[in-house]
Structure 1
């Protein structure tokens, strides 16, 4: 019931009104909303990021959304990593199917986190948890999350900042698609670098 209520409330109009009401608090409302995405999965990332850009402007909206998302992901990652040695997680991790999944995550950790972080919708909590349980090193996780979220937030902020422009000229979305494709290529290069470093 709570999930349905959140989904029905989290419209662009309601979020815009909420951010404007608390505008006196500076960047905190925009950062808080994106931070909570890691703990409340139903929150619509693309809507929140787009509204941040509309309320705070393209660059400040981008910055606040990016800070909130990265901080939320790092917090959940560090919490799960700290408790992953608990006997419950150890028993869960010993299952054959889980072991097979963990081996895959360890081999493809940077690419797994980076590419899924670029998506405006996705199982972010699961990504953070899987990376933590697989004992992905903190620095590569941070770089993968920070890079992937920066690309996603910039693309969504760019569209959300001036939505009417893209409604009139939808072909300009090709630039956003090109930017995402280029970012994917960069992620593969980064993954090759980290794989080489860890060998």
Structure 2
């Protein structure tokens, strides 16, 4: 993951800019399959290289597409005999029922955060057989808000650097979102997911 620095990402996007939006969309799409990828950095660089609105649209589309594909794959694989047996366990059922009842809020709220257990969110929603339209709407709205905020910062990053107060505000904002995501993740693991899953760190 040391390869995914701001300079390397900017070089990659500039190098393949002739391919249009594909590089920017591909980087955000990969986030759903390579959890350690730095979402906020990729989204910010997209906005810096392509411009605010194009970068926002490319990142939004890529993230939503990646999440939706992951969700559909898990939802499909979740019909296997092995996963059905695992899902029949009482503690697992408790966690899945909570996701089914609160699925939209669960996906939407965690989708707003630029850091968090995205892969685990998609898997939980898929295993819980969350309604496809509800899941898609929650991802579109949640990721849209997050990408808009990060893209705005990325496209105007030089202005933030020239104004220390604004830059300090950005740092505080990012740290606050990180703290909130960890609290939400811990609450979900402790209160709703089965013990075996709660003892396993979310991606």
TM class by shorter-chain length?
Answer: 0.7 to 0.9
Alignment deviations for residues 109-139 of structure 1 (CA, whole Å, 9 cap, x no partner)? 0000000001111111110110111111111
Please report the TM-score for the alignment, with normalisation by the length of structure 1: 0.82
Taking the TM superposition and a 5 Å limit, the aligned residue runs for 1:39-188 are 39-172=33-166
- Give the Cα separation in 2 of the matches to 1:66 and 1:97: 35
- C-alpha change, 1:127 and 1:9, in structure 2 (3 Å) is same
Partner SS for 1:8: coil
Alignment deviations for residues 169-194 of structure 1 (CA, whole Å, 9 cap, x no partner)? 354476996xxxxxxxxxxxxxxxxx
Alignment deviations for residues 31-83 of structure 1 (CA, whole Å, 9 cap, x no partner)? 00000100111111001000000000000000000000000011011111112
Partner SS for 2:130: coil
Is it true that 1:18 corresponds to 2:21 in the alignment? no
- Give the Cα separation in 1 of the matches to 2:90 and 2:165: 48
How many angstroms does 1:149 deviate by? Answer: 0.4
How many angstroms does 1:96 deviate by? Answer: 2.2
Please report the TM-score for the alignment, with normalisation by the length of structure 2: 0.80
- C-alpha change, 1:100 and 1:30, in structure 2 (3 Å) is same
Alignment deviations for residues 1-33 of structure 1 (CA, whole Å, 9 cap, x no partner)? xxxxxx201001100001100000000000000
Q: When the two structures are aligned, how many residues end up with a matched partner?
A: 173
Structure 1: which 5+ residue stretches go unaligned?
1-6, 178-199
Structure 2: which 5+ residue stretches go unaligned?
174-203
- Give the Cα separation in 2 of the matches to 1:171 and 1:98: 47
